[in-house]
Structure 1
Amino acid sequence: MSGMHMNAEELLHLDQHSRQRALALESFIVEAPAGAGKTELLTQRFLRLLTTVQSPEEIMAITFTKKAAAEMRARIIDSLVMADSGKLPEAPHKQQTFQLGQAALAHAARLDWQLLDNPSRLRVYTIDSLSASLTMQMPLLSRFGSQPAISDDATVHYRLAAERTLALVDDDIYGGIARLALGYVENDVQKLTHLLVDMLGRRDQWLEFANRQDTQQLAEQALTHLVSADIHAAADAFPPRLQAVLMPIARYAAANLACDIPQALLLDWDNVLPATVSALPVWLAVCDLLLTDKGTLRKSVNVRNGFPATPESKPFKEQFAEVVATLQQTPGAEAALHRLRRLPHKHDAESWQMVAALAGLLNIAVAQLWLVFQQAGEVDFVEVSQRALMAIDSGDGAAPRELAMKLDYRISHLLVDEFQDTSPTQVRLLQHLTQEWVPGDGRTLFAVGDPMQSIYRFRKANVGLFLEVAAEGIGSLQLERLQLCRNNRSCPAVVEWINSTFRHVFPPRDSVVQGAIHYRDFVATRADSAGAGVMVHPLVAGTDDTTENMRICEAARIVEIIRHTWADKPGASIAVLVRARSHLETLVAEIRRHHADLRFQAVEIEQLAGRQSVQDLLALTHALLHRADRVNWLAILRAPWCGLRLADMHVLAGHERHRTVWSLLNDVRISQAMSEDGRQRCQHMVHVLAEALSQQGRMPLGRWLESTWIMLGGAQTLWQAGDIVDVEAYFRLVERLDQQGSFSLERLVQEMDKLFAEPDTQADGQLQFMTIHKSKGLQFDTVILPGLERKPANGATPLLLWEEVAIETPAGSSTELVAAPFIPKGSAAKDEPNPYSYLKLLEKERTDNEGARVLYVAATRAERSLHLLGSVKPNSKGDLKPASTTFLELLWPAIGGQFLQSADEPSRPVSCGQALLADFVPQLIRTAEADIPLLYIDSRHDSISSGEKRGDTPVLSRQASIEASIGTLAHKYVEMIAAQPDFNGWLQRLPGLKPAMMHWLRMQGHFGEVAETAAGQVVKLLELTLQSDDGRWVLAARPQAAAELAMGHMGDNGLKRLVVDRCFIENGERWIIDYKSTRLPEKADAAEIRKAASSFAAQLEGYAALFATEGLPVRKAIYFMTLGKLSELL
């Protein structure tokens, strides 16, 4: 079904008809384009079905993500609540939902379901949770026994199973298979391990075929069937009538050529060519006659093609030209004929030997994987889905009946969302769930999706399954095909551009084998908006422009678009969508360096390993675990907690390269050659790291690293709440790997690649950066799509490719596997058409077709405006041509003209890009002074202060009261604020520092709510200080100001160490101020505050004596942090 040739009125009529039919008690498959209101239709269908069943559990809705399942459940419940309110909504589609909801509630009331009080009776599953539920409820049939945990990422298990498999190379029984497979990959263990890991993750696609005995014969039949589809396509493009015209011409040409070339087969061509593999040699001879070596139809022929320059040849040449002209006017004819040259004949003996070896090796790997799963006590989703299939397909017909008994109800109605993203295993699950259903028995299947938005091939999704089910049904169940044609999201200007453009971007026809979907038009239903439409921003590079220059220029243009959009429509939602996360790197850097006011949320965009705080931690981990890792040891000296300058770095490590950095740090001679600043910073590092190295192995790895990092001052270098979350994620990862017994530096780096930095929690969400895949299902007022010229990442060349093919056998229809191993260099089959190259061609075509759909998904996120940015550079001839496999190539027919118009006006001078590049030089960031954090001062640093001040015990004794801990922590942060008196900046940072405060409090023995409450009190004390006039006056920057100034005093009992909280000179007077977190009544008057301050007079007199030799008038005061008040002692 297609609305490609319909006008708007016809499309709307088709849409209305489809929506009405979708509520009938029959089985349907619905195509719902972007913005069509698919979720609303599913909700209405669910409500309609509720009026027909005896129990709500008879209806089961299935989708693919937890988020989508939660949204569907919430939409159904909200619709029931809306219906229960009795208030009719204004929107027409909501009115229908309202009426269906009221009917459902009335039916539920008659049967006493109490749905609103028991919404858990509504069955909305993800496909994975459904499989898990089936195995849990049928443990014997699934052969699981007790339900294991399910791993979200089982790569570590796959790798261990692969390593154990290859470790059998010397085994008497299995070693031969392993050696044969290794020999095929030139004994590259790493390559074969990677293959096994990849294959184990997709074992649901090949496992049943790997165990068959008659694999070769059936696979050859499957290969024949697969290539026959291409021969049929060529036959359709080159019909019998045209063949008949070409036959005498071909015989004439063949007679004029040597008899030992393939074209000699045309000498006897006098019948229409059958669309069979046996006729392929003659088809190929016809291709040689009609096509050039590059696959284009010949514009002329000569003696080399069998047409000598004689009068006799002239009529044949003219007739040949007529045939070529007809083929040129036949869409797809040229490609269909050229494709025949890529078709393989059959597997060669060497390939089959390798396939057999790999099949045996894979069976061993699967057995090893099950042992790994048992030892780990967890499995992957593939195992769960396979066991679910096993549970409901026992082979004797009993499973469906047992399923109904176990579930305490029969499934009467299935609804499947996002059906375009199903995999073969998931379709088989649906087949088994519906295998006893027959037309007219009242049970229905309702599948809905948009094949134009099928973009998850990397998750094993196969859009061809949507086409197959639409055409053939599932099992014996036939589905009526419906099509929605409305777009309720985008403005007409955007929709019209999408329709006119993507008709030519998408393939001309659907193809199950090639994963091709032709374009389906839709109609905008919302009113147009001022400024709506699609804007193209061509960036044409100058002769000397580099790629990096153009990317920086593109980032600057994006910033202009954002600012212009918000100036035109304040608060508009904006999304910058990219094909790959790395495409945002330049833009993020540009905004952070020059446009910090643009707060954005980047969801799963920035890898955790890309954050500076985590990079420093990773370097620290490497350095501590590997003393000879010179690069990482130097890195931790440049980290903010040390911040050693380059001159001191050179003194330290510029000459003696044969020694470890740790050895150099402990060399007194080298230390004395450094600057005073560098020497102090290195002494701080040595002090902390010596203690850390002495504790190595005495505590869990994660705790050891975290304690070392805190002692170095790492926590003080975190400026944003997201930084704290990032470092906590790092420590959790280290802890997890350590507990699993699988920690290694290599594994740590591998796992880091899977983690992402926390998005900016202070951003309001109006500006978002994400990949196109992540944006699916979302919508934004404005969408910016940069990097149109960027190529997708090249996938690795797999060692094995396979394809499922349905064939007919004497026993009936079956699905078989065509598998082909990589053809190594030097093989005789390398340059000939072979199964591997053909399957690789299919993969490329499917990838290219999916690329067009990815672009469509990006464009259809826009409600009001879509901005397209791409750069192109003239080639050596001065021509502008987009690179292949890029979005720009797909859009070139629609937007290429605008690039050509800009060709004479480069986007900006080259110097602009060079200047911007200069701004990208990172600056050294470091703490103001090197000092072990107060949090870890030991008992040698005693204080004489009374009350909350430090006494004869360690500063942060674990036995200290919570009040003392609050005071100490507040003092330390006030000290840091005084060192960097950016009061507004600190006010913004404080809420995000609460987790770090809680962590420190836990280390002092305060846990749970006590630590959380205490941290909150510290934040309040600091906020009050920063917001009060007295607090800001006390902490303001001044000459000769000091915070936490330690001084020695000779008393009656010997030398004592005193710590003055705050002192400075103001107007020729020495001020001495002590902080108190003592609780006073919030409404204490001046007299009460003076009385409280006077109790500390003796303490401050002792401090004043320290400055007696200074000769300045001394003024003493107490700052009460709980009040934000300063009280001078008179």
Structure 2
Amino acid sequence: MIYLDLSDREERERAAATFDRNIVVTAGAGTGKTTLLVDRLVHLLLRNPSPLDIKEIVALTFTNKAATEMKVRLRERLESYPNIRLDREPGSRAEKELFRELRSLMERYHLSKAEVDRRSREALHQLERSYIGTIHSFAASLLRLYPLEAGVDPQFAEDEGPRLERQFEESWQLYLDQELSLAGARKEDWKRVLRKIRLEEVRSLAFSLCSETIQLESLKTQSREDGTAKPVALWLKKNEERAAELIQRHPGKNYKIDEFAHAALAVIREFLARGELAAGVLQEERDLLAGSSPGRVKAWSEEDFEAARDLIRVAKNLCQVDGDLARLVTALLVPFAKGLRERFLQEGWISFDGLLVRARNLLRDHLHAREELKRQFQAILVDEFQDTDPLQYEILLYLAERTGRQAGYWRQVELTPGKIFVVGDPKQSIYAFRRADIEAYLEVVQEVIQAQGGLECRLTNNFRSHAGILNVVNGVFERLIHPVEGLQPPYVAIRPPESRTDTEPRETHSLPYRKVQIRRVESEAGPLDSDRARRLEAESLARWLSEEVLGRAEILNRNGEKVLAEPKDVAILLRKLTDVHQYLEPLRRRGVRYVVEGERHFYAAQEVIDAVNLLRVVENPSDRSALVGLLRSAVGGLEDTRIYELHRAGLLDCRAVRRVGNDRKRLLSPVKELYEALLELHEEARRLPVGQAVFRIFSRIPIKLLAAISFNGEQAVANLDKVRDQAELLAREGAGTLKEIIARLEGRVLEVKEESESALAEENVDAVRILSVHKAKGLEFPIVILAGCHALIEGRGDEPSAEYDWSTELAGLRLGEYLNLPAVYLGEKRRRREREEQKRVLYVAMTRAREHLTISCAKTERGAPTSFLAMLEECLGDLSACDSPGSLQAGDGTVEFLAVTENLAVPSRRRERKKEKKEPKDWTAYADLWKRRENDYQAAIQKPVFLTPTKLKKREIELSEGSEELRRQFSGSTDALLIGDLAHGFLQRWDFRDPADTFHEKLRVFLASRLQHRPSDSRLKVASELEEIFGAFFSSAAYRELASVQILGREIPFLTPWNGQVMEGVIDLLYERDGQLYLADYKTDRIEKSDLEKSAEIYRHQIQIYSGAVQRALKREVAGFKLIFLRLGEALEVREGD
């Protein structure tokens, strides 16, 4: 791509075309990193010297969607080059850009147009065999290439989690039965453990240890080692110094916080000296720290108070360290986790974590495999490098190692110059909960790639947002994001391209909605608590959208045209979707359509609950609770009073319909039809496979129809389809009978198991999109509303678990209220990382907007110290001192501030409708439209789906005038058709390198089996005619030409689109001569030599169809088409366009 009018043009060109150094691209939000990745791929394929085959390149992305987008863009680029005519002036702007790009590539690498076309077609031909995909798919490919070395079944299947969970449940129960039985060898150890922690907490830890990311051997070694690990000791030393400095500034013990600070210092020093806190030691300090933490006092500055609070938290956690308990639990659980992993692998399953771990181990431990793969893959490209799991860093580093070098540790790898090309933005590293590690990213980039001569290129031109948004973003984050070693890189500003600045509307008042706005909602009753404030904010946003934005606000579309905002233009972003339902009800009440993306409450959706109740009743008609739920749903449509009457009459049972007396028939009438249907399904379902049974139930009971007319119709129907798919999946995985599968679905509903709703094609749905900031990453929207900015940002809970830190190689264990020492260190490290990460989450949220950004919040009783609003106030000042309406300055940007007063009273569900005078409708246009549709339909059903060149030729001959001669020539007897089939069949098997005079004997053998059921006189006639045909052909120049060419294929079937139908046919011969592609078709027509030229017209469509099919399939031009008339021994060459 040619980067005109961009301030970062040189950086982009250097990144795309530098091959002697490894490249790290820092690409800010909306700077076109996917385009750059495609540019890099194109340069690798076309460069001189040493162009790469596409199968020598690894291009890895974060998601399957991103991989597909990269493939599509690369395909479009490669397909465009052969279509460019350099002898013609390009027309459109896109054609001009491609023209300049092609010229630039040809000049840079001294390529001819023919060579560019050849390389492009070769790459296209191999594109689907390329390694463009996700890291997990690539890791799976490596394991399948070397299954013996990796210790895996070559036909292993990947598990996203459910299979491992099921195996854990089964294995855990068996393990406990053995361990806790009277004959258990370690029952005393179990008693000691269970005196301190609950069995459920042990179970949670055991499940965490089953993840292959936990290094079990390292955990065992760590539990046996004496002393404190070096990273932990350094951390304790820093905390001791901080505590000593605080006490030096506040030497007395006048306040409670002073006492806590001294106690914290004593505990930290004890751990520094002995690595543990023995029983009875520092008991007074421990008792003090066990109480509630002190509040702030005036004598302590805010900075000192925050530092003291951190130290007190550390000391409290240190008091909960129990090394003996951790060692005991490790000894009990590690054998179980190890055994489960081995059984899981033996059964042919690998978890997603296991894919990465085993691919890393393969490359690290099996040097011959590493060496072969290093030679196979000559270039490695990685997208979203900042969100990459540290295990993936190791895989990439080992593959990028110099040939002949074999480092045993990733930090010692010596990289091949020019092999690595990574694109990322540390400002957008927000996936720590998926093990993305900003510390590991910075370490690999700075201490490995750049330390070995790697080049950093920065993309700063943003193509997404206008200058008004970008100026605010820069103004906020230049003050908010400061470099913190291992946690936060320096902020790099993003700017609009210079050309964009020139073309943006100069009169801002003409588009007043193109702005950044902070919208604070206040209650008439004064400040509210957090929950009520969120409800008030949700009501206000719904009113604002319906009354002031949708259909009213003017924005620019992608073409720069003024349009009115539609629901699909709006995205509401939330930091997390925990409280999303409070925002949905007001939108639903006001009739604003929405789609929630990424919500994990699939099993809490009403239609899913209704579906599971329906399945329960069908399977067990006596299940009263399920029946009550079904009757209360849209399926039954009964009020509670009617259900109570059925209960009083003993009719809450489907089977009652078959035994009810006349006195109770009136009560049963509203549900009689439903009861009968449920009983019929009960009999049917037992005889059907699970998938068919669920399909039959959903077809017989109109649950999908009722879901379709609900407010979230499309999503509700999609969710019901997912219920059916889930049931089928459980059946395929051997979950058991329909009864057992329904019980499992019921269990998931009762525990509200986290599961995403069925995905819709949201891009095509005209609805407001509601999603988390994490889900929105990589997307853009014309209007973005960042909601709930006043809410407290809470860290991850300290649930019992095991965690492994890649940088320090430490494993932390959490055992209820107890921990091991590394867990305290890792917990504090995670807390600091999350604190910095939340700034990046806000950055990602604010950079999603193209036209308008609203930051929405509500006024609460007490402002949250850690919230998006608090971060913004840190940069913009206290909002409570700002006038409304007013404005705030953020660097070169301006933020509009608006305070809105709302009433928390829920508005009526009844919508006010304006009385409109009814006017008679003119249905003429609709009637004409339906008439045209009916005509089109009738024409379509009369047109066959499939068509052949022969049928097409016959139809044209029948429709042509004065065509008696053509009809006679085209028509043939049964024997003539047989002759043609046999001639084609014989030539399909004939080797053109054989002597021509040997055809007689081979023809006799060929015909013996094919004519054995025909009368003898017919056999003789057919054989004689074929001898005559081949006698002429095998002695002709046409035969001698075929004997000298490279045959690529014979009797090749094809399907190709043709004027709304599917054309099918068979190409007799495909061959190559002098590097050019030719097609040939055998003809057994009786024709005079003087009529050869006329035949080209008869077969005009066939030539066009066959040539077009080959060009589409092979991406190569067809040089010519040969009509070979076997009886004459003549070949007529026809070129397309003649």
Alignment partner of 1:433 is 2:392? no
**Could you say which residue in structure 1 is the equivalent of 2:1079?**
none
Q: Deviations over 1:681-700 (max 9, x none)?
A: 22223323333444564433
Contact 2:29 2:462 in 1 (8 A): yes
Cα distance in 1, alignment partners of residues 261 and 333 from structure 2? 41
Q: Which residue number in structure 2 is paired with residue 400 of structure 1?
A: 370
Q: Are 2:783 and 1:782 equivalent residues in the alignment?
A: yes
Which residue in 1 is equivalent to 2:52? 55
Whichever residue aligns with residue 594 of structure 1, its letter is: R
> Per the alignment, do residues 412 and 294 of structure 1 end up closer, same or farther by CA in structure 2, a change over 3 Å counting?
farther
CA contact (8 A) 2:390 2:806 kept: no
Q: Which moved more, 1:378-387 or 1:208-217?
A: 208-217
Equivalent of residue 843 in structure 1, options 807, 830, 842:
830
Q: Does 1:681 align with 2:676?
A: no
Q: 5+ unaligned residues in a row in structure 2: which ranges?
A: 277-281, 283-287, 404-412, 506-510, 556-562, 736-740, 886-897, 913-925, 934-944, 947-1138
Q: Mark the CA change 1:207 to 1:574 in structure 2 (over 3 Å): closer, same or farther.
A: same
* Cα pair 1:177 1:357 within 8 Å, conserved: no
Classify 1:490/1:701 alpha carbon distance in 2 versus 1 (closer, same or farther; 3 Å).
same
Q: How far did residue 494 of structure 1 move?
A: 0.4
- How many Å separate the matches in 2 of 1:266 and 1:758? 53
Match of 2:643 among 640, 649, 668: 649
2:67 is equivalent to residue 69 of structure 1:
yes
> Residues 79 and 739 of structure 1: is their aligned pair in 2 closer, same or farther, counting only changes over 3 Å?
closer
Name the counterpart of 1:389. 360
Alpha-carbon shift at residue 36 of structure 1 (Å): 1.7
Tell me the distance in 2 between the aligned counterparts of 1:785 and 1:261. Answer: 39
Query: Contact between 1:558 and 1:784, CA under 8 Å: does it hold in 2?
Result: no
Letter in 2 for 1:638: R
Q: Does 1:370 find its partner at 2:346?
A: no
Give 1:565 shift. Answer: 5.3
1:81 alignment partner, one of 79, 82, 106: 79
Q: Which amino acid aligns with 2:350?
A: V
Q: Following TM superposition, by how much is the alpha carbon of 1:63 offset from its aligned partner in structure 2, in angstroms?
A: 1.7
Match of 1:869 in 2: 856
- Secondary structure of the 2:186 match is helix
User: In the alignment, what sits opposite 1:768?
Assistant: 769
Specify whether residues 182 and 862 from structure 1 end up closer, same or farther in structure 2 by C-alpha distance, changes over 3 A only: farther
Contact residue 784 and residue 867 of structure 1 kept, 8 A: yes
SS at match of 2:669: helix
2-side partners of 1:261 and 1:335: how far apart? 13
Query: 1:176 matched to which residue of 2?
Result: 186
Cα pair distance change 1:295/1:53, threshold 3 Å: farther
Is the contact between residue 29 and residue 479 of structure 1 (CA under 8 Å) also seen in structure 2?
Answer: yes
What pairs up with 1:687-702 in 2 under 5 angstroms? 687-694=676-683, 697-702=686-691
Letter in 2 for 1:511: E
Q: Secondary structure at the match of 2:221?
A: coil
The answer as to whether partners of 1:58 and 1:412 remain within 8 angstroms in 2 is yes
Instruction: Pick which of 492-501 and 79-88 moved more.
Output: 79-88
Whether 1:143 aligns to 2:115 is no
Residue 573 of structure 2 corresponds to 577
> Which of 866, 883, 888 matches 2:869?
888
Q: CA deviation at 1:654?
A: 5.4
The 1-side partners of 2:264 and 2:434 are apart by 46
**How many residues are treated as equivalent by the alignment?**
830
3-state SS, counterpart of residue 124 of structure 1? strand
Q: Is the 8 A contact 1:58 1:410 kept in 2?
A: yes
Cα RMSD of the aligned pairs, angstroms, is: 5.0
Per the alignment, residue 421 of structure 1 pairs with 387
Find the counterpart in structure 2 of residue 734 from structure 1: 727
Alpha-carbon contact 1:220-1:346 (below 8 Å) kept: no
Give runs of aligned pairs for residues 709-858 of structure 1, distance below 5 A.
Answer: 709-714=698-703, 716-719=705-708, 720=713, 723-742=716-735, 743=741, 745-750=743-748, 753-757=754-758, 759=760, 764-765=765-766, 767-791=768-792, 795-800=796-801, 802=803, 804=805, 815-822=808-815, 824=817, 836-858=823-845
Please state how far the C-alpha of 1:383 moved relative to its aligned partner. Answer: 1.8
Q: Does 1:43 align with 2:50?
A: no
Query: Given that residues 607 and 757 in structure 1 are in contact (C-alpha distance below 8 angstroms), is that contact kept between their aligned partners in structure 2?
Result: no
2:614: which partner in 1?
A: 620
Residue 460 of structure 1 deviates from its aligned partner by 1.3
CA–CA distance in 2 between the matches of 1:909 and 1:703?
Answer: 52
Does the residue aligned with 1:118 lie in a helix, a strand or coil?
Answer: helix
Q: Distance in 2 between matches of 1:148 and 1:264?
A: 55
- Find the aligned partners of 2:495 and 2:321 in 1 and give their Cα distance: 55
Structure 2 residue corresponding to 1:451, chosen from 426, 435, 445: 426
- 2:951 aligned residue: none
**Cα deviation, residue 469, structure 1:** 1.5
TM-score by length of 1: 0.64
Residue equivalent to 1:957 = none
Tell me, in whole angstroms, the C-alpha distance in 2 between the residues paired with 1:613 and 1:440: 55
Distance between the aligned counterparts of 1:792 and 1:661, measured in 2? 49
Which stretch of structure 1 is more off in the superposition, 216-225 or 178-187? 178-187
Whether the 8 Å contact between 1:574 and 1:782 is mirrored in structure 2 is: yes
Give the deviation of 1:651 after TM superposition.
1.1
CA distance in 1 between partners of 2:93 and 2:623 (Å): 69
Deviation at 1:411, TM superposition (A): 2.4
Q: Distance in 2 between matches of 1:63 and 1:31?
A: 16
User: 1:839: Cα distance to partner?
Assistant: 3.3
Deviations 1:85-125 (CA, angstroms, capped at 9, x unpaired): 44778589978854565467757678898224433464323
Residue by residue over 1:885-907, the C-alpha shift from the partner in whole angstroms, topping out at 9 and shown as x without a partner, is: 33223223456755565899984
Q: How does 1:210-249 map to 2 (within 5 A)?
A: 210-212=219-221, 215-217=224-226, 220-228=229-237
Confirm whether residue 194 of structure 1 aligns to residue 204 of structure 2.
yes
Asked if the contact 2:321–2:821 (Cα under 8 Å) also holds between the matched residues in 1, the reply is no
CA distance in 2, matches of 1:914, 1:178: 60
Identity of aligned residues (%): 21
TM-score (norm 2): 0.63
Task: Name the residue aligned to 1:20.
Answer: 14
Residues in 2 aligned to 1:639 and 1:349: alpha-carbon distance in whole angstroms: 50
1:915 is paired with a residue whose SS is: coil
**1:359 and 2:359 correspond:** no
Contact 2:155 2:348 in 1 (8 A): no
Alignment of 1:899-938 (within 5 A): 907-908=900-901, 910=903, 913-916=905-908
State the secondary structure of the residue aligned to 1:114. helix
Residue 848 of structure 1 deviates from its aligned partner by 3.0
Q: Is this contact kept in 1: 2:16–2:43, CA < 8 A?
A: no
Q: 1:747 to 1:210 in 2, by over 3 A?
A: farther
More off after superposition, 26-35 vs 766-775:
766-775
Q: Which runs of 5+ in 1 are unaligned?
A: 1-10, 268-272, 301-323, 807-814, 876-880, 921-983, 992-1008, 1011-1130
The amino acid across from 2:829 in the alignment is L
> Quick one: distance in 2 between partners of 1:728 and 1:112?
42
Q: Deviations over 1:273-329 (max 9, x none)?
A: 99x957999xx9xxx9xxx986979748xxxxxxxxxxxxxxxxxxxxxxx9xxx9x
Q: Does 1:501 align with 2:476?
A: yes
> Match of 1:497, as an amino acid?
V
Q: Deviations over 1:1056-1111 (max 9, x none)?
A: xxxxxxxxxxxxxxxxxxxxxxxxxxxxxxxxxxxxxxxxxxxxxxxxxxxxxxxx
Q: Write the distance in 2 (CA, Å) between the matches of 1:46 and 1:762.
A: 28
Once residues 53 and 177 of structure 1 are traced to their aligned partners in structure 2, the CA distance between those partners, rounded to angstroms, is: 66
- What SS does the corresponding residue of 2:858 show, helix, strand or coil? strand
Alignment of 1:176-575 (within 5 A): 176=186, 180=190, 183-184=193-194, 188-201=198-211, 203-212=212-221, 215-217=224-226, 220-228=229-237, 299=299, 339-343=310-314, 351-370=322-341, 372-374=343-345, 377-394=348-365, 397-404=367-374, 409-436=375-402, 442-473=417-448, 477=452, 479-506=454-481, 508-512=482-486, 515-525=487-497, 526-527=500-501, 528-529=504-505, 530-531=511-512, 532-543=514-525, 546-547=532-533, 548-563=535-550, 566-567=553-554, 569-570=563-564, 573-575=569-571
